[in-house]
Structure 1
Amino acid sequence: MKGSVRGWIMDIEGFVRRNMDSMDEESLRNALADLILEFKDTDRETSIRMADAVIYEVKNTLKTGGLDDGLRTIISYPPAGVGMGEMGVGSRGEGDFFVHRKIADIVSSTGTRSFINPEAQDDGGVVRTETGSGDVYITTAVDGIHSRLSEYPFLGGFHVTRAALRDVCVMGSRPVALISDLHLADDGDVGKLFDFTAGVAAVSELVGVPVVAGSTLRVGGDMVLGDRLVSAVGAIGFSETPPTARKRAEPGDVILLTEGSGGGTITTTAIYHGLFDVVWETLDVNFIRASEAIMDSGLLGDVHAMTDVTNGGLRGDAHEISSTAGVGLEFDADAVMSMINPSVLRMLQDLEIDPLGVSIDSLMIIAPEDVAPDVMDTIRGAGVDVAEIGRVTDSGVPVLLRDGSEEELRPLFREAAYTQIKKMVGDKTPQDFEEMKRKVEDAARRAIEKKDMVVRMISRED
């Protein structure tokens, strides 16, 4: 049985917690033992003993009757009553953006300050520190592996490393270090660790940025069976000039876009539609070369903003920039399409996937009109194609000009559906979305209250 299914995962602790109230203990014990036998190459007696151990541990966690209110609060979490999938978290759309704003609220409630914090919803966070020769801006960013690339660790590692580096580069920082956090479920082949790390190392070698630290653990320890891989890569960079944050975009600026071939999302689209040749198109480091060319040219201080077209595609990024900077953005549809790799664009069109609603991994630059030509020359000099695709306006709304008409660029509830299962889930906003937001907001508020309680308690002890 073991190893007959790839990419599977089973949370046996979660199974017990979900079924403890609805099943008697003997039935639960046998059902869990059956599940363990599906995943583990073991005998019935061992699976029963494992089931008993899990049930014993979970039962002990529920003995909270004698606890004081404070400790009971600490070991529980504030339920929102809304699932990740329901809310579209991780799907780079309206629901995902809302949850990220609530996470930013929790971070901001600490009273600690950074030069650019999560409230800005920018690509990376920035802290400013003083040195003997002046201010230095340190940028950090972290990205998680695309969830559908667990069975393709090298590609997962390659693309998540590019993503973290991109997030540092677009803040105007020069990357100096990479860190890796790798989690593989209990039955995963150790070779996945090495393949993922090789993907990370390939990008590291191509751009000359070292991997300096990392962590390798199991997903859920002994309580999660299967071979699912989840991981993240972080990047650290520095700059002696203020970051090119989105909020610096101004009316009259020109919008430039480099050619994008996609990353994890496009790779996933290609693999799960059997269009494997398109994967080759995604294997480059052009984004980083273009960013570094701008830094090396001395033009960075004249650029107002840079971002990568990732979060929900151009629809999502345009919405975030417009909201953050309080400006309008006007895009020419034909110019935008010309900057999507032809093979990638053809695949998206053939599969009826909105190219404006998925991550194409282009570098988008917002610069004054008199600076834009020099920026384009610099990028082309690095061997990367680039074009002018639009302008910044004072309308406060991002719009797309296509076939003589104008349409507002709005993020969908989820990014454009690029796999069959995503097409089934859909991208329509749920009818009870406002109620879902209220519940999520309430859970975030209670999380802040819990944090405040613990901080007060520890501060009194000190």
Structure 2
Amino acid sequence: MKKKVYHVDIEGFVRRSMKEQDEKSIQEDLKNKILEYKEINPERAGQMAQAVIEEVKNTLKIDECSDESLKDIIKYPQSNVGMGEIGVGSRGAGDFFVHRKIAEIVSSTKSSALINPTAQDDGGVVRANVGSDDVYITTAVDGIHSRLSEYPFLGGFHVARATLRDVCVMGADPVAMLSDLHLADDGDVGKLFDFTAGVCAVSELVDVPLVAGSTLRVGGDMVLGDRLVSAVGAVGVSKYPPTARKRAESGDVILLTEGSGGGTISTTALYHGLFDVVWETMDISFIKSSEAIFQAGLLPEVHAMTDVTNGGLRGDAHEISKTTGLGLTFYDDKIRGMVNPKVLEMLENLDIDPLGVSVDSLMIIAPEDVASKVKKAVSGVGVAIDEIGYVDESGKSKLVKDGVEEELKPLFREAAYTKIKKIVGDIEPEDFEIMKEKVEKAALDAIDKKDRVVDMVRGR
């Protein structure tokens, strides 16, 4: 009987093993790994192992190739810094740094956008001319929460909400969604259907169609197991310029709607056995809040909107300050009052910082007179909203707690919301600056490579 396991990258296993093991040992080890997943006879497993080894050996012959340009394209700039080491995906200082490097590669192109990844905003925006009118087109994409692979419906439901939120906070009206779905070789096809049903539940609730997508296996034949990896994108349109973070102004009021969480909170609840909390996350109040602001005609007067997701309020405040050069002051008690009571109770009982995790609130930055109108509109659709702070010119994010003001900084990783994350920790590693230098060089090397290839293709 097959063992219940997640996945193994057999090509990666061979590449690593070839550095220190002989071919016969690698084949035997790989054959045994394949038999853990596949109900096939040992002879066939051995043939599969040998085939993978031969394919990897063929790719390594690139070192003997005399075409230096081809070698340059095939090989990637190595930073020797692992994703987990620097915290990519963990919504903290390391993750933000790497995303800024990605944005630099994007901005090095000759193409332009109204809002591109350098703004570290929720979505990207281009301006198109339709007849005599300007139309602002917003796109966004979000990946499924990695710990929801075993819970496809929840994964699909929450990632659909996430990508729609990212379009809404840019001031656009969502008009379409698309999905990219990858399931490893041994995954049950039912996962595909369950994930899609989760996405379509949101689609039906907010009347935004799922119009296109792609479905593939994770790594094709090279990854065994049943891990689900996927993403959902959204497209939105608007007649007005985007409510991007960079539009925030000193003196603005900061509003926050009640947040019940999404993928992160569901994961926290599931992996701590607090299953009833999952129901709290199954809502569309965020979309209702955004639509209320649109319907009230307040969008042109709102300066900025964002969803409290990446690294929680700590992360969002840091990124807004960095983008605008302005300061933001928040009141701790007001923020906690805008976290769903059941969710807040769970976080506090588990010693998880509510300001360091994604609670999926809508944060609105607007002039004081506009803020009062926004509160009225959002309250009118049954969503709680309150004033939690203001924008100033200090250049820093600050938190006022029990009358004491402290700087609000993102941690190296978002607040640890599972037991494994608590073991990994959120303390900045001693060699963080060295890692940043290595990553910086790899990003610059990637830009240089892109420029060389563009020149070469144009010159052919």
Provide TM-score, normalisation by structure 1: 0.99
**Aligned twin of 1:170:** 169
Query: Offset of 1:326 from its aligned partner?
Result: 1.2
Q: CA deviation at 1:130?
A: 1.0
Q: Secondary structure at the match of 2:329?
A: strand
Q: Return the alpha-carbon distance in structure 1 between the equivalents of residues 65 and 310 of structure 2.
A: 46
Q: Does 1:383 align with 2:382?
A: yes
Q: Which residue of 1 aligns with 2:59?
A: 61
Q: In structure 2, what is the Cα distance between the partners aligned to 1:89 and 1:24?
A: 34
SS in structure 2 at match of 1:62: helix
Q: 2:338 corresponds to which residue?
A: 339
- The separation in 1 between residues aligned to 2:83 and 2:350, in whole angstroms, is 26
- Any conservation in 1 of the 2:142–2:159 contact (CA below 8 Å)? yes
Question: After superposition, what is the alpha-carbon deviation per residue over 1:110-168, rounded to whole angstroms, capped at 9, x for unaligned?
Answer: 12110000000000000001111310000000000000000000000000000000000
Rounded Cα–Cα distance in structure 1 between residues aligned with 2:66 and 2:198: 48
In the alignment, residue 220 of structure 2 is paired with which amino acid? Answer: G
Q: SS of the residue aligned with 2:261?
A: coil
- Structure 1 counterpart of 2:122, which letter? D
Aligned to 1:327: 326
SS state of the match for residue 265, structure 2?
helix
SS in 2 for 1:407: strand
- Partners of 1:32 and 1:251 in 2: CA distance: 61
| Partner residue, 2:7 | 9
1:158 paired residue number: 157
Q: C-alpha separation between the residues in 2 aligned to 1:81 and 1:56?
A: 26
**What is the letter of the counterpart of residue 343 of structure 2?**
V
For 2:44, the equivalent position in structure 1 comes to: 46
In the other structure, the counterpart of 1:279 is: 278
Instruction: Tell me what 2:194 maps to.
Output: 195
Q: Deviations over 1:261-296 (max 9, x none)?
A: 000000000000000000000000100110011011
Shift of residue 66 of structure 1? 2.3
| CA distance in 1: counterparts of 2:240 and 2:34, whole angstroms | 56
TM-fit CA distance, 1:382: 1.3
Cα displacement string for residues 298-333 of structure 1 (whole angstroms, at most 9, x for unaligned residues): 000110000000010000000011111111111111
Kindly report which structure 2 residues correspond to 1:27-426, keeping only aligned pairs within 5 A, or say none: 27-64=25-62, 65-426=64-425
Unmatched runs of 5 consecutive residues or more in structure 1: none
State how far apart, in whole Å, the 2-side matches of 1:400 and 1:188 are: 46
The alpha carbon displacement at 1:231 in A equals 0.1
Residue number among 15, 24, 27 corresponding to 1:26 in the alignment = 24
- Tell me, in whole angstroms, the C-alpha distance in 1 between the residues paired with 2:66 and 2:11: 22
Distance in 1 between residues matched to 2:162 and 2:365, nearest whole Å: 20
How much does 1:67 deviate? 3.3
Query: What one-letter code is carried by the residue in structure 2 that aligns with 1:259?
Result: E
CA distance in structure 2 between the aligned counterparts of 1:451 and 1:371, rounded to whole angstroms: 45
**Amino acid of the structure 2 residue aligned with 1:127:** V
Displacement of 1:42 after TM fit? 1.1
- Please give the TM-score of this superposition, normalised by the length of structure 2: 0.99
> Root-mean-square deviation (CA), in Å?
0.7
Structure 2 contact 335–388 (Cα < 8 Å) conserved: yes
Q: Which runs of 4+ in 1 moved over 2 A?
A: none
Q: How many residues align?
A: 459
Supply the distance in 1 between the matched residues of 2:349 and 2:145 (Cα, whole angstroms). 23
In structure 2, what residue type is equivalent to 1:151? E
The residue that corresponds to 1:429 in the other structure is 428
Per-residue CA deviation, residues 417-446 of structure 1 (Å, 9 max, x unaligned), is: 000000000000010000000000000011
Report the Cα distance in structure 1 between the residues aligned to 2:66 and 2:82, rounded to whole angstroms: 28
CA offset at residue 68 of structure 1? 1.2
**Which residue identity does 2:275 align to in structure 1?**
F
Spell out, residue by residue over 1:145-192, the C-alpha distance to the aligned partner (whole angstroms, 9 max, x if none): 000000000000000000000000000000000000000000000000
3-state SS, counterpart of residue 103 of structure 2:
helix
Contact 2:65 2:71 in 1 (8 A): no
Distance 2:228 2:80 in 1: 27
Deviates more, 1:360-369 or 1:318-327: 318-327
Letter of the 1:353 partner, please give it: I
Q: For residue 388 of structure 1, give the secondary structure of its aligned residue in structure 2.
A: strand
Return the alpha-carbon distance in structure 2 between the equivalents of residues 31 and 337 of structure 1. 52
Q: Deviations over 1:220-260 (max 9, x none)?
A: 00000000000000000000100000011111111000000
Q: Deviations over 1:349-408 (max 9, x none)?
A: 000000000000000000100111110000011111100111111111110101010011
Work out the CA distance in 1 between the residues paired with 2:65 and 2:234.
Answer: 45
Aligned-residue offset at 1:5? 1.0
Does 2:439 align with 1:460?
Answer: no
Does the residue aligned with 1:307 lie in a helix, a strand or coil?
strand
